[in-house]
Structure 1
Amino acid sequence: MNDGFQIILMAIIGALIGGLTNMLAIRMLFRPYETKYLFGRRLPLTPGVIPRRREEASIKMGEIVTRHLLTPDAFIEKIKSRETQNFIMLFIDRQIETIESEKLTLRYFLERINEGLSDKVVKGFNAQLSDKVTAEGARLYQQEIRNLVPTDAMATLDGKIGTLQPQITQKIEEYINSEKGYQDLYTMTDEFVEHRGRLARSLKYLMSKETIVQNIRNELNKLIHHPKMTEIQVRIINDEYERIKNSRVDALISERDQQRLIDSVYDVLRERIDIEGILDYPIEDFNREMFESFKTRGKYQLRDNIIEYLGQNTGRIVEKLQLAQVVKKQIDSFELSHIEDLVMEISSKEFRMITLLGFFLGGMIGIVQGLIVVFL
């Protein structure tokens, strides 16, 4: 055999071996996708490298992403960047414009969060208001009167009690000496004389009814001004006043009236607060001065607060997101053929160069072998 032909032949054979070996190695990264069996025994090198190591690869990929790529520090740096600040400010400005142009209300935002949330807020608020009024009413009903009245008001009442007895005496005296008092005394005297037997009836023969009534009026006037009567009146007034002061409210008001009072207070508060009206009131009209202040200065503080909050809680947010598990789940959900297409699309040039390198190195090795055979 011609030496030159032998060298060329060995170069061709070496190139084919090197190139085809690399092509097979590249293909065996993915193929076969499943384990192959022959006579019940698994064939070696099946499945391919990546399918066989898929579970481990997805776990490692998730760890690489969370430990080296999407780290909390990377998120914080991005959050604090000028681009993020501009984006947040643009978002806030657009929301302000929308609130003004469309007269948005609290109900609108609540419904955007969850349909029917505004009704739940109203019901929840009214329920809380009812519970608070009922609880406060129950607490007040168990208090003593003296503990509910302010100190200054109680001192004023104590002073008024001292003047009550002369006022009562004056009112009684005015009544006794009035025409109405005279007529009442006359009626009672007439009934007494007519219904108390002969002895009582005989009095009308001794003196007239008018005289009897006038005598009774005179005696009553003396009685109400008697020191002993004054002392009795003062004692009764003071005792009753002390009893009322030391009594609990629920001892003076029936349970039915207590409930009516609580319901009345609840109705008044619900009408005055009007949570339905608040939810339907345009946000910008709640306090125009405050809204304008927010547009000029407050929005920047809001932006800074958002960035600060995200910066402080990014670590926990990333931890809650469990990005490693997300990456693993996504990789595990890919079809092997799709993964192969992605890898081949990204590395097709490199794989082609590896194949050509295999042909080249195989050919060079074949030439070297041919030279060795020829000269040795």
Structure 2
Amino acid sequence: MEYVTKLLMLAVIGGFIGWITNYIAIKLLFRPFKPVKLLFGYKIQGVIPARKPELAVSIGNVIEKQLLSPEEIINKLVSEKDINYLKEAIVTNVINILKDKLPGFLHGFTDRTVKKHLEDFMEKDGDRYIREMINNIVRHAAEKITISEMVTEKINALDLVTFESIVLSVVNKELKHIEYLGGVLGFIIGLIQGTVALLF
């Protein structure tokens, strides 16, 4: 019974050491926010606060190169429904402009003949015409939009408390699992060490 008690004590101590080690390691990802001077000129600072600018650049590059490009974002803004709306809007606006500029006696001609030709053109070539126009806009817009720079600026503008809360909102559950896993592994290692110590 005495051996079992000692073994359990060693396992519990090992579990606690494993848990507290992982707990401190996770806290050190963010804390302390600002460098703290230690003896002999050593400094300690959270890994993420110390490397926030580099992380911001890396996150921005990953988002732009692997997740979202400017072209994808802009292309998603225009659907088939939007193209049909644009075709109708072009016909309506052209007719309205002509009726505004032409004498009244030509309005009937505009409504009948010109509108019919425009509608036929849009039916036949409107999709291609509008898509070419959109592609040109996308190409020019993509040259001006740099998602990586935008993300980098946004992250760098965040204070460390807000940045920490954002990161934890995403991975807090996983970090808790790492803490508990440290406790479990420490407990198992404590059992093994205790068994070896008691046997030999």
For normalisation by structure 2, the TM-score amounts to 0.78
Does residue 83 of structure 2 align to residue 88 of structure 1? yes
For the Cα contact (< 8 Å) 2:69–2:147, is it kept in 1?
no
Q: Which residue of 2 aligns with 1:60?
A: 58
**Residue pairs, 1:93-108, within 5 angstroms:** 93=88, 95=89
CA gap of 1:334–1:300, structure 2 versus 1, over 3 A, is: farther
Deviations 1:205-246 (A, max 9, x none): xxxxxxxxxxxxxxxxxxxxxxxxxxxxxxxxxxxxxxxxxx
1:6 and 2:6 matched: yes
Distance of 1:374 and 1:344 partners within structure 2: 42
**1:357 is aligned with what amino acid?**
L
In 1, Cα distance between equivalents of 2:126 and 2:61: 35
By how many angstroms is 1:92 displaced?
4.3
Closer/same/farther in 2, CA of residues 41 and 315 from structure 1, 3 Å limit? farther
Quote how far apart the aligned CAs of 1:369 are. Answer: 0.7
Q: What is the CA–CA distance in structure 2 between the aligned matches of 1:37 and 1:300, rounded to whole Å?
A: 73
| Contact kept in structure 2, 1:62 and 1:325, CA below 8 Å | yes
Query: Are 2:44 and 1:49 equivalent residues in the alignment?
Result: no
Paired position in structure 2 for 1:278:
101
Query: Kindly tell me: are residues 71 and 371 of structure 1, through their superposed partners in 2, closer, same or farther at Cα, counting changes over 3 Å?
Result: same
Name the amino acid aligned to 1:49. Answer: V
1:327 aligns with 2:171: no
What do residues 51-91 of structure 1 show as CA deviations (whole Å, max 9, x unaligned)?
A: 1111111111222222222236x629x83x8x722332235
Letter in 1 for 2:82: F
The residue type equivalent to 2:80 in the other structure is Q
TM-score, normalized by length of structure 1? 0.44
Q: Aligned partners of 2:124 and 2:32: how far apart in 1?
A: 59
Alignment check: 8 A CA contact 2:91 2:115 kept: no
Give the 3 Å change call, closer, same or farther, for CA 300–334 of structure 1 in structure 2.
farther
Task: State how far apart, in whole Å, the 1-side matches of 2:91 and 2:133 are.
Answer: 24
Q: Which amino acid aligns with 1:84?
A: S
| Structure 1 residue 312: Cα displacement | 5.2
Whole-angstrom distance in 2 between the partners of 1:42 and 1:286: 86
Alignment check: 8 A CA contact 1:11 1:364 kept: yes
RMSD between superposed Cα atoms in Å: 3.5
Distance 1:66 1:286, change over 3 A: farther
Q: Mark the CA change 1:39 to 1:285 in structure 2 (over 3 Å): closer, same or farther.
A: farther
Deviations 1:122-150 (A, max 9, x none): xxxxxxxxxxxxxxxxxxxxxxxxxxxxx
1:352, distance to aligned residue in structure 2 (A): 1.7
User: Structure 1: which amino acid aligns with 2:12?
Assistant: I
Runs of 4+ in 1 over 4 A off after TM superposition: 38-42, 96-100, 103-106
**Aligned residue pair count:** 194
Kindly tell me: are residues 59 and 371 of structure 1, through their superposed partners in 2, closer, same or farther at Cα, counting changes over 3 Å? Answer: same
Question: Which position in structure 2 is the counterpart of 1:182?
Answer: none
The answer on whether the counterparts of 2:91 and 2:119 sit within 8 Å (CA) in structure 1 is no
Q: 1:1-376 maps to which residues of 2 (within 5 A)?
A: 2-38=2-38, 41=41, 43-44=43-44, 46=45, 48-71=46-69, 75=72, 79=75, 84-93=79-88, 95=89, 278=101, 287-288=110-111, 289-298=113-122, 301-311=125-135, 314-376=138-200
Partners of 1:351 and 1:92 in 2: CA distance: 53
Q: Percent identity?
A: 27
Native 8 Å contact 1:58 1:331 kept in 2: yes
Amino acid at match of 1:75: E
Cα contact 1:19–1:356 (8 A) shared by 2: yes
Residue 287 of structure 1 aligns to a residue whose secondary structure is helix
The 1-side partners of 2:92 and 2:165 are apart by 46
- For residues 19 and 10 of structure 1, the distance between their equivalents in structure 2, rounded to whole angstroms, comes to 14
In structure 2, C-alpha distance between the alignment counterparts of 1:304 and 1:342, rounded to whole Å: 43
Structure 1 unaligned residues grouped into runs of 5+? 107-276
Q: 1:335 to 1:292 in 2, by over 3 A?
A: farther
CA 1:96/1:309 → structure 2, altered by over 3 Å: closer, same or farther?
Answer: closer
Note if contact 1:85-1:303 (Cα within 8 Å) is conserved in structure 2.
no
Amino acid aligned to 1:85 = E
